[in-house]
Chains A and B, each alone.
Chain A
Amino acid sequence: MKEQQPANIDIRNLQVSYVGDDGRKLLALRDVSLTIASGEIVGVAGESGCGKSTLVSTLLRLPGDPANIFGGQVVMRGIDILQLSQSEMRELRGRDLAMVFQDPFTALNPVLTIGQQLVDVQHRMSIPRVARRAAALDALQRVRIADASRVMKLRPHQMSGGMLQRVCIAMALLVRPALLIADEPTTALDALVETEIIDLLQTFRADTGSAILVVSHQIDVLEALCDRLAIMYAGQIIECGELRTIIDTPRHPYTRMLLDCDPARLAAGARRLPSIPGQVSRLYAEPAGCAFVERCPRAVDQCANQVPPIQLDTSRFARCHLTPGESR
């Protein structure tokens, strides 16, 4: 059994860059700070190029990752995991860190049975094989797969995407990690299956008390799942706080515009959908002011020259100096 207690994950001032194809340095994460308490589900929303994928890969620090972490810490149980060596990171992954990937079809080994993979993932636990098998069966039942013993003998290609994603969650359940990272867990799945996966992730949290970080570009999924929400743009978290506060009263114009794009929020029969003009630009150097300034409908002169102050309300912040009245 697992001895360790659940833990908080404290990401502080993370700065990451990449060397792009053309040899120039690309700023991927700029001063990113986020705390995920144990038992909490935190969502990170954003569009392509915002840095949310880099955030995930920085936490995992897989070997061969070309990112250059040049600032910040990620603290778990008092240790900065960014300072750990690769072999220490290997210990961490599969024990304190677990991940659910976007594409369930390629996340599992196609030649091994589900049972074999579920048993394998418990290799750190000093329990006999029989007990591992029982734990695997139990995990499958907890992700609500009927006829678990038959599923143990199946291979990934015989199962649907929704089922495979459940299996991946079952694998994470067996690990009982301090932090579960779900990278676009429902993007490749159908609408109804989405709901089930959302349910399962919440059950996961209840069962294990793990901290869960969900990264997605689907705001409606995050809305159904998370306790807190962070919005990323151009490598920074531009707004963060309690879910309902952000969704109901967004402060940053980008957040507002992003929420407006969700079709579920539109009046029926609205044929024209709101969108965000312009494109995310890649940053090669720290911009003088707000990175969103060129696309922001509420930008004023001040926005281009000063880095917007971080406002701390009780539990939220937004990188925008506009007051609620102004950002309407």
Chain B
Amino acid sequence: MTKDDPSHLQSARHPLLVVSRRLPTSARLGAALVALALLAGLAGLVGFVPNDPYKFDFANRFAAPAWDHWLGTDNLGRDIFSRVVVGSGIAMTVSIAGVGIAMILGLMVGTAAGFGPRWLDSTTIFLLDSLRTFPTILLAMLVVVIAGPSVFTILVIVVVSLVPGYARVARTQTLALRNETFILAERSLGASPLRIICHHVIPNVFAPLLVIGCMDIPTVVAIEAGLSFIGLGVRPPEPSWGTLLQDGYVHVRATPWLLVAGSIPLALVTLGFTFLGEGLRDALDPKRRRS
């Protein structure tokens, strides 16, 4: 077929706007959960919570859920619900900042490697692979020992673990794009490699990365919770979901609500971002785009 279909110039739609029309129900559900998580995170960060998450109340330990304490109280009488919300602030900050920074770094490194001279590519691959083969747990422990446990430490660990994978994806996409006609056309106009990478490679490459990043957020949340659970992350009295789980595990006979508080949000966030990520991936898939 000749490529000359008469075109009704539809109102020009940016390719990404077209995407939002195509999200299936599961993705919309995911988006809703994600929105909830983000709201909770924001609330947690600013302290918009019903009760003071740090306030002890020994008279009221292990209380059952009630109007004044929506999820009850923990072993020190603190409001579980408020602690969950503050914990979500930590979870969201670490995961979104971690994934975000890793994505930016990975994009930069990957596109440079894919588009630049061969020696740059080989060196980068070598470095990235070396980093990737280093076991995460060992790395985490190493960093914690050096820098002390804190949210910042977790962030560093997360970024260092994620960048090689993102860089690889960016690199592969860039390599595929490198010989596309429009890239050659840009070169023929005299565009410099930097310009081509910024204007033409990155916009076409970051879509798969976005999807992967989205699906990685629950992983990072889990990493943070896990590290906090074993005591290498957020220290008490900061209420991370991990510490809640730790407390819940210890005091499970006294109240199940701590465990619930630590695990359900985690599950919901995982579901939410995964559904959203899968929906985005299908919607952004260029093969499904009709003319």
The interface of chain A, by Cβ under 8 A from chain B, is 21-22, 47-49, 53, 102, 183-184, 187, 217, 279-282
Contacts and interface: CB of A to CB of B under 8 A. Distances in A.
A52 to B, nearest CB: 8
For chain B, the bracket of interface size reads 10 to 19
A282 B2 contact: no
Interface in B1-17: 1-6, 8, 10
Main SS of chain B's interface residues? loop
B6 A53 contact: no
A22 B6 contact: no
Closest 8 CB pairs of A and B: A48-B4, A280-B6, A48-B2, A49-B6, A279-B6, A48-B5, A53-B1, A217-B2
B290 interface: yes
Contacts of A49: 4-6
Contacts of B10: 21-22
B6 A184 contact: no
11 contacts: A21-B10, A22-B10, A47-B4, A48-B1, A48-B3, A48-B5, A53-B1, A102-B1, A187-B2, A280-B6, A282-B6
Contacts, number: 26
Interface string B2-35: 1111101010000000000000000000000000
Contacts of A21: 10, 290-291
A303 B196 CA distance: 53
B290 A48 contact: no
A48 B3 CA distance: 7
A47 B3 CA distance: 10
Contacts of A217: 2
A252 B291 CA distance: 32
Contacts of B1: 48, 53, 102, 183-184
Contacts of A22: 10
Interface in B85-131: none
B253 to A, nearest CB: 58
Most buried by A among B2, B8, B10, B291: B2
Contacts of B6: 48-49, 279-282
Contacts of A183: 1
B290 to A, nearest CB: 6
Nearest to B18: A21
A282 B9 CA distance: 12
Nearest to B7: A279
Nearest to B8: A282
Nearest to A66: B290
A279 B7 CA distance: 9
Contacts of B4: 47-49
Question: Max chain A CB contacts within 10 Å: which of B1, B3, B4?
Answer: B1
A161 B171 CA distance: 31
A22 B290 CA distance: 12
Nearest to A21: B290
Interface string B188-205: 000000000000000000
A112 B4 CA distance: 33
Given A21-B291, A48-B3, A282-B8, 17 more contacts: A21-B10, A21-B290, A22-B10, A47-B2, A47-B4, A48-B2, A48-B4, A48-B6, A49-B5, A49-B6, A53-B1, A183-B1, A187-B2, A217-B2, A279-B6, A280-B6, A282-B6
Nearest to A184: B1
B168 to A, nearest CB: 25
Contacts of B2: 47-48, 187, 217
A183 B3 CA distance: 14
A1 B5 CA distance: 43
B95 to A, nearest CB: 37
Contacts of A53: 1
A321 to B, nearest CB: 26
A217 B4 CA distance: 11
Nearest to B10: A22
B8 to A, nearest CB: 6
B55 to A, nearest CB: 58
